[in-house]
A and B are shown apart, each in its own frame.
Chain A
Amino acid sequence: MAETAAPRLRPMAPHLQVWRWGPHMLVSILNRVTGSGLAVVGLPIVLWWLGAVVAGPAAYARFLGYAGAWYGLAVLAGLTWALVFHTLAGLRHFVMDIGAGYEIDTNKRWSVAVIAISFVLTAAIWAWLLTR
């Protein structure tokens, strides 16, 4: 067969700028972002909380002052969502690790479910905390 002069189009590499986004990709990168956030911001805050308990009532009251302010509550709510999301995405990974759920429809459906359930559970936790 005679080749034409024009070069054939090569398959495109999965490059961030040209790849079409789907829910599974969003869950993948959010899993990394939430995990990094929990490790870099969440763990130090847990340790600050523990240290405040050790340091006594005055230090603990100072911690509660920051944690209970609007910015503290915003950070804690964000960390709650990050924890819930990272947990759900991790459970999704456990399922995929046994080789299940790779069909595109199933994979997308559970990705959307992970995102939706993460917001529902976070809202439920904070509704419980703020209404009791």
Chain B
Amino acid sequence: MDKGTPIGRVRGLGSAHHGAHHWLRERFSGLASLIVSIYLLAGLLMLPAYDYAAVRGWLVRPVPAAMIALFVLTNVWHGRMGLQVVIDDYAHVPANRIVLTALLELVAIAMAAFGLLCIVRIALGAA
């Protein structure tokens, strides 16, 4: 098994069968983000003002609150997958790639947690 060139060792094995999964998830999350973003952009543009009272009064309502939560989730997910591809394309040293991927995972989870906590606090009236 250790003989031959790298390309010779993998030639004929076919697909690894997990490229399409990432590709499909990227599209699904993009589509979800499109729907949520259009709703939020329209809502934001229709707001009478952008001061604290107006913005909080909007975000405290159930549908905008749910949409903001979905916005955070879909876009953190979508951005995490997109940046993973960027890292895979440009970070050629394995150690750099692993460190950057780990950093990306940690920051993505932290951002999702922070965003959801904020929305919960606003929607449930703690803020």
A interface residues with partner B (beta carbon < 8 Å): 32, 35-36, 38-40, 43-44, 46-47, 50-51, 53-57, 60-61, 64, 83, 87, 90-91, 93-94, 97, 125, 128-129
Contact = CB atoms under 8 A, between A and B. Distances in A.
Contact of A39 (B50, B71, B82, B121): B82
B86 interface: yes
Contacts of B111: 43-44, 47
Which 6 A-B pairs give the minimum distances between C-beta atoms?
Answer: A39-B79, A50-B118, A54-B127, A60-B52, A57-B52, A35-B82
Interface in B34-62: 34, 37, 41, 45, 50-52, 55-56, 59
Contacts of B119: 50
Contact of A38 (B72, B79, B115): B79
A53 B59 contact: yes
A90 B37 CA distance: 13
Contacts, number: 75
Nearest to B45: A128
A83 B71 CA distance: 13
Contacts of B45: 125, 128-129
Interface residues of B, number: 32
Interface string B64-97: 0000100110011011101100100000000000
A90 B59 contact: no
Contact of A36 (B31, B68, B82): B82
12 contacts: A36-B86, A39-B75, A39-B78, A39-B82, A46-B71, A46-B115, A53-B118, A54-B118, A56-B52, A57-B52, A83-B37, A94-B31
Contact of B55 (A36, A40, A60, A125): A60
Given A87-B34, A129-B45, 15 more contacts: A39-B80, A39-B82, A43-B76, A47-B118, A50-B68, A50-B115, A51-B114, A53-B122, A54-B122, A54-B127, A56-B127, A60-B55, A64-B51, A91-B34, A125-B41
